[in-house]
């Protein structure tokens, strides 16, 4: 595949980078990334991946755009209120970069459909806002041997980690089980600073780009936390993959996907 | 006269920085390690920046020839795959 003059110009700042170059940009154009959740995290992640020229971007979300989303979900605009989020997200990405094929999945991700959703993708971004979805994505990615970026945001805090099969702990190695329903407030109850989605979602896009191009070190085996009040980033080294982990351990006890009960939330 | 055989040529006189370097990089990508690329470029900024950028990428600069019309030919040997 040869670049058109327009592509050379569009991706010039990538191609100039020694670590990316022509080869890295071609990898991006051939890559397929699935973003689950077109909300506070998924919006910036989707936009940076579209701008970067990731050739196929899937986006899954069952919700419609709500006025209260717009404070942080920057892929949607005021005129999009009421539209399916995946449609609004697709329109924004198509406008940003015609090189990108956007596939939309206007549905809740569940144990029934997740394996089918992720199977054609190289990397998955967890942009969801609830523990049941986070554990489901983790377990499905472990079973299907897919790398993914986990992230969560609330109030002035955010965190992320990356799972790559065989290269470190999974989300369940670290967090074991979802907290009891309603034990942890959702963003709807607790609030979240809008720019937090920008910080953490952009870091998820960065992890996807680095995984695709093979550049540098990923957050495998590490949890990166961000506290915006104190303006502190902490990279916490995690214990090695737990051989007794219920899903990625040597004798997994979770062999079928679980739909945990959801707490009420309007989406991050 | 340096001892080299030119395997390919790219003309970057019709573009501006940084597309100059981008086009040269793309042309170099097509070559095998050890092959030689002639980069035809304008004087001034390209003649100053492109050789430096090529060196930073680890390639070997064989020659920088000034032509009568004020353009330059940069001769680069590809290092690394």
Cis amide bond preceding B18, omega within 30: yes
Interface size between A and B, measured as CB pairs under 8 A: 27
Would the pLDDT of A263 be above 90? Answer: no
Global ipTM: 0.83
Q: What is the mean pLDDT of residues B57-70?
A: 95
Q: Which residue has the higher pLDDT, A187 or A248?
A: A248
Average pLDDT, chain B: 93
Number of structural domains (chain B) is 1
Which of A124, A216, A215, A116 lies closest to A163 in space, CA to CA?
A124
- Distance of residue B56 Cα from the nearest chain A Cα, in angstroms: 9
CATH of residue B12: 3.30.110.40
Q: Which residue has the higher pLDDT, A64 or B3?
A: A64
Which of A202, A160, A190 lies closest to A40 in space, CA to CA?
A202
DSSP string, A52-105: HT-SEEEEE---B--GGGTTT-TTS-GGGTTSBHHHHHHHHHHHH-TT-EEEEE
Question: Which domain, by its residues, includes B48?
Answer: 8-77
Residue A238 neighbours by CB under 8 Å, 6+ apart? A161, A168, A169, A173, A174, A221, A222, A223
Would the pLDDT of A266 be above 60? Answer: no
Q: What is the pLDDT of residue A264?
A: 56
Superfamily of domain A31-237: NAD(P)-binding Rossmann-like Domain (3.40.50.720)
Would the pLDDT of A180 be above 90? Answer: no
Backbone φ and ψ of A42, nearest 5°: -65, -30
Q: Domain locations in chain A?
A: 31-237
In B, minimum Cα distance to A3 occurs at B26
Q: How many residues does chain B have?
A: 81
Q: Which two tokens stand for residue B34?
A: 């050890």
B56 within a domain of the structure (yes/no): yes
**Paired strand residues for A226:** A158, A233
Measured torsion, CA atoms of residues A178, A184, A186, A190, in degrees rounded to the nearest 10: -160
CB contact (8 A) between residue A21 and residue B56:
no
A chain contacts of residue B26, beta-carbon cutoff 8 Å: 3, 8, 15, 22
Q: What is the pLDDT of residue A267?
A: 44
B chain contacts of residue A1, beta-carbon cutoff 8 Å: none
Q: Are A104 and A34 in contact (CB under 8 A)?
A: no
Would the pLDDT of B49 be above 50? Answer: yes
B chain contacts of residue A13, beta-carbon cutoff 8 Å: 18
What is the bridge-based pairing of β-strands B72-77 and A222-227? Answer: unpaired
Q: What is the pLDDT of residue A183?
A: 81
B33 within a domain of the structure (yes/no): yes
Q: Any idea what DSSP says for residue A2?
A: P
Q: What is the mean pLDDT of residues A158-169?
A: 97
Residues A63-119 pLDDT 10s: 999 999 999 999 999 999 999 999 999 999 999 999 999 999 999 999 999 999 999
B chain contacts of residue A12, beta-carbon cutoff 8 Å: 18-19, 22
Q: What is the pLDDT of residue A261?
A: 83
Q: Any idea what DSSP says for residue A226?
A: E
């Amino acid at each position: 595949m040869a670049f058109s003059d327009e592509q050379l110009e569009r991706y010039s700042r990538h191609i100039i980078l020694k670590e990316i170059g022509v080869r890295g940009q071609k990898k991006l154009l051939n890559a397929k990334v699935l973003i689950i959740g077109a909300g506070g995290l998924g919006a910036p992640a989707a936009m940076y991946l579209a701008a970067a020229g990731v050739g196929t971007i899937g986006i899954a979300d069952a919700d419609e755009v709500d006025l209260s989303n717009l404070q942080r979900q920057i892929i949607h605009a005021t005129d999009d209120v009421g539209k399916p989020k995946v449609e609004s997200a697709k329109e924004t990405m198509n406008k940003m970069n015609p090189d990108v094929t956007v596939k939309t999945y206007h549905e809740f991700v569940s144990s029934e459909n997740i394996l089918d959703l992720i199977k054609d993708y190289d990397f998955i971004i967890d942009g969801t806002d609830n523990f049941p979805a986070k554990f489901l994505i983790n377990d499905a990615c472990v079973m299907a041997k897919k790398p993914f970026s986990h992230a969560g945001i609330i109030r002035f805090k955010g965190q992320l980690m990356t799972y790559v099969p065989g290269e470190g702990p999974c989300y369940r190695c670290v967090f074991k089980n979802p907290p009891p329903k309603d034990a942890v407030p959702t963003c709807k109850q607790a609030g979240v600073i809008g720019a937090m989605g920008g910080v953490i979602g952009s870091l998820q896009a960065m992890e996807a780009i680095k995984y695709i191009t093979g550049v540098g070190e990923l957050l495998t085996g590490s949890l990166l936390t961000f506290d915006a009040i104190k303006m502190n980033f902490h990279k916490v080294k995690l214990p090695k993959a737990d051989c007794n982990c219920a899903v990625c351990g040597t004798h997994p006890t979770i062999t079928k996907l679980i739909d945990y009960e959801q707490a009420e939330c309007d989406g991050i | 006269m340096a001892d080299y055989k030119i395997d390919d040529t790219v003309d970057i006189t019709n573009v501006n920085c940084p597309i100059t370097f981008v086009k040269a990089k793309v042309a170099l990508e097509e070559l095998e390690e050890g092959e030689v690329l002639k980069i035809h470029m304008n004087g001034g900024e390209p003649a100053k920046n492109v050789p430096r950028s090529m060196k930073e990428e680890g390639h070997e600069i064989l020659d920088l020839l000034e032509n009568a019309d004020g353009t330059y030919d940069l001769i680069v040997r590809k290092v690394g795959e």
